[in-house]
Amino acid sequence: MRSKKGGLITPKLLVLFVLINLYIACAGSNPLSPGAWVEEADRITLMDGGPHKGTWQTRDLTIHYEFQKAAPSLQITGLVELASYIPMGFNTLEFLNVNIHFLDANGIVLDAKRIKSFGSFRSFRVLGDINLDGRFDLAPDTVAFAFSYSGRASTGGGGPGMRGSGSEGGTDWEFWRVPRRSPPQ
């Protein structure tokens, strides 16, 4: 009897293990890792001194940033504005992670860091401004940077562990942008 019970548990654990690994692989915390290539249109050139201002815009959000390079570091601040369809169509920002990727002259990622994580199941009514602020050490070959992000909004509003598409019948919307491309051949 024990061998049958143990035999049934083993396949279930194997399936669970495979599913967990697939989830982790697909939802990686750093989607643009060192060695990846970033298309020129998504590169933001680093200039000495500053502050230098700019805007990076995608379908989902706009980042108004300001940076100041003082070797060997970079100070960056900014404001993230979500596209209107997100707060108008959903109640809760479950999370938003904004990353910065440091690039060499060929657009190859040298290093990647998370600038900020936002949301934590916060209602859009009380979320307030989404501000960025960070200081990062730069590798000597760094000449540009790029942003990436991933987030999820929902019509639910339960809280951690209570996804919007759960029992309350809500809807989740995942959004992301990773300016990664294959390098030209």
Inform me whether the pLDDT recorded for 36 exceeds 50. Answer: yes
Inform me whether the pLDDT recorded for 154 exceeds 80. Answer: yes
The residue-averaged pLDDT of 20-37 equals 56
Q: Which of 72-76, 117-121, 133-137 shows the lowest per-residue confidence on average (mean pLDDT)?
A: 117-121
Provide the whole-model pTM.
Answer: 0.76
Whether 23 maps to a domain, the answer reads no
Per-residue model confidence (pLDDT) at position 9? 54
- The mean pLDDT of the chain is 81
Residue with tokens 């339960």: 158
Whether 18 maps to a domain, the answer reads no
Whether 11 maps to a domain, the answer reads no
Per-residue model confidence (pLDDT) at position 75? 96
Confidence of residue 159 (pLDDT cuts 50, 70, 90): low
Whether 19 maps to a domain, the answer reads no
95 in Cβ contact with 120 (< 8 Å): yes
How many structural domains is the chain composed of?
1
Domain that holds residue 176: 31-181
Inform me whether the pLDDT recorded for 168 exceeds 80. Answer: no
Per-residue model confidence (pLDDT) at position 125? 86
Per-residue model confidence (pLDDT) at position 126? 85
CATH code of 163's domain: 2.60.40
Q: Which of 87-91, 114-118, 149-153 shows the lowest per-residue confidence on average (mean pLDDT)?
A: 114-118
Whether 89 maps to a domain, the answer reads yes
Whether 20 maps to a domain, the answer reads no
